[in-house]
Structure formats: structure tokens, C-alpha cells
Amino acid sequence: MSTSESKTITVIGSGLIGRSWAMVFASGGYRVKIYDNQPGQAAKAMTEIRKQLEELEEACMLRGELTAAQQLALLSSYEDLAQALEGSFFVQEAVFEQLDVKQSVFQEIERHVGKDIILSSSTSCLVPSSVFSKVQIPSRCLVSHPVNPPYYVKLVELVPHPETSATVMDTSHALMTKVGQAPVCLKKEIDGFALNRVQAAIIAESWRLVQDGVISVKDIDLVMSEGLGMRYAFIGPMETMHLNAPEGLEDYMKRYGEGIRRVLTSFGPVPDFFGEGAKNIIKEMCKLIPSDQQHLSARKERRDQLLMHLAKLKKDH
């Protein structure tokens, strides 16, 4: 593998996540070839990326050591898959979240690449053994699950197929670290990976507390944004416990473990997210933020601005 080859990555699919991956990899100095099967889509993505990189540079929020122009020069768009894959050592797929689409995309990719090229999927909800069930060499395959927007929220969950080699996990971890992401390695695949399992637990108990008339929608969100979330942006639940008792985690469990067990046994069943009970929760939420595009877009913009500032704060500390 020549030096230029080892610096080239192909991104398959140029929607929201594909564009973000391209920006993240280019920020780390990699040459990125963007492919989309919709005519004109990859070229459109380039225009959008150019706009975003220029805005980020203007706001002093551009990632990496290179200027926006230098990063742009690393990017190119393709409508031919074979050309898009030529010379790449790592392929990041970001197509629709449909099992059959992903399976056939990887089958097609395998026809064009050498056997040591790493194949990585962005899937949020599909386990690697399903996504890669039709590939010839599953040992080179993994899921690299980003969090939206990956440019500011840097976590990437690396999830192995049962046959993924340790070298592929290590190389992917090193790549993600080099481009400034925060990779975590799952030791085996599981439905929902780690992030969405923890998120599902939080959603379930929040929903139950509102549905049971314990707290309002507005206030349960404050429990997170003004309470737990304040420290979780910097330290996780394990370190939080370790620091919250004079002698660390063991001491914490001696003091609070029984109480946590008692509370856990009082948790209800999986809530009803769709029926009559859900209607009131949705109504209460929409009173706070109406679900028309204008209101939602304004709040999304606010969220991304705040995440941008938080990312900067985390970078500086």
C-alpha cells in the first residue's frame, strides 16, 4: 500500500451522515472520495460541505490543522463506484437505514476492493452480523456508529461482527482517534449498541414518570439538562459514582447500592409510546415547542449552536 493509498477513504452515501464523515476525515488530512448512487447527489454534497467548511472557518470552529480550502482540496465526488473505491484503505458506508440496501451495497463494494480494505457501516439500529451477512470476508467488517452531528458530538461506537479481526478494530480505533473522534469499542454486538441502550433506558423512565403523573414534560427535561446532563457532558455515570462517595465506587455502592436496587425494582414495564396515554405527552411537548417546521428548525439550530460551544469548551479543557 503506497502512502497516498493509505491516506484515502471512500464515503458511500452523501446524506446528512455521509457529508459529516467526509468533513471529519478531511479535517484529519485524509483524501476523501464521496460516492452516491443518486445522480448529482455527491456533487451537491460537495457544495454543501464547501459552505459548511467556510462557515466553520469564519466562526473559528474548523477542525484539524488545515484551512477550509486545504480540506476542500482533499474532497472529490463520484458517480462511479469502482472509481470512488480505487486506492482507498477504509470505506465508510452511510446509505439509507435499510438492511437489504446495506447488504447489497457491501456485496457490490467487495467486488471492487482488495481483501485487506476495511468495510465500515454507519448503521444506527442494525447489528453487524445482519449488515454483513452477505459479504465474503466478514473479518474486515465493522460498524462505526456516529452520533449526530458527528462534527461536534465525537463519540463513535465501534461494533465488531463476531468474526471481525482484532487488527481491524485496532486500525479503525486509531483512524477515528487520529481524525479527532472519540471511539469506544464494544466487545461484542448487541441490539442498540451501548449508546442507544442507555438512551432507551432514559427515555423509558422519563416517559413513565410523565405518564404516571409524577412530573411534567418540561420538568423531566430540566432534570437532565440542568441536573444529570451537566456532569455527564464531562464524566460518565461510573466516574460520577466513584467521585460521589468519600472512598470511591465501592463506598458509593455500600451507601447507595441498596437504594438504587429498591428504585430499580419499582420501574414499570416498557411504556406505551403509541396509544391513548402517549397522546397527552405529545400534546404537552407540542405546547412547549410546536411541531411545525419553523419551530423545530429554530430549536435544532439552537441545539447545534449550543453543541458547537460545548465541543469548544471540551476541546479547551
By CB under 6 A, name the binding residues for ligand NAD. Answer: 12-18, 36-38, 41, 94-97, 101, 105, 122-124, 145-146, 148
Q: What number of other Cβ atoms are within 10 A of residue 204's Cβ?
A: 16
CB of 266 to ligand NAD, least distance (A): 33
Task: Choose between 122 and 172: whose C-beta lies nearer to ligand NAD.
Answer: 122
CB of 277 to ligand NAD, least distance (A): 27
CB of 243 to ligand NAD, least distance (A): 30
Q: Pairing state of beta strands 75-78 and 141-146?
A: unpaired
Task: Choose between 87 and 150: whose C-beta lies nearer to ligand NAD.
Answer: 150
CB of 47 to ligand NAD, least distance (A): 14
CB of 172 to ligand NAD, least distance (A): 16
CB of 258 to ligand NAD, least distance (A): 38
Q: Which residue's C-alpha cell is 481524525?
A: 179
Give the contacts of 66 (CB within 8 A, at least 6 positions apart).
26, 27, 29, 74
Cβ atoms of 89 and 1 closer than 8 Å: yes
Give the SS3 label for residue 196.
Answer: helix
What type of residue is 136?
Q
Task: Choose between 245 and 308: whose C-beta lies nearer to ligand NAD.
Answer: 308
Task: Choose between 98 and 167: whose C-beta lies nearer to ligand NAD.
Answer: 98
CA dist., res. 281 & res. 172, Å (int): 41
What type of residue is 224?
M
Task: Choose between 38 and 136: whose C-beta lies nearer to ligand NAD.
Answer: 38
Nearest to 266 by CA among 221, 211, 213, 208: 208
**Crossing angle for the helix pair 16-27 and 41-58, to the nearest 10 degrees:** 50
Give the SS3 label for residue 304.
Answer: helix
Task: Choose between 145 and 173: whose C-beta lies nearer to ligand NAD.
Answer: 145
Cβ atoms of 81 and 112 closer than 8 Å: yes
Strand partners, 8: 31
Position of minimal CB gap to ligand NAD: 15
Task: Choose between 38 and 67: whose C-beta lies nearer to ligand NAD.
Answer: 38
CB of 94 to ligand NAD, least distance (A): 4
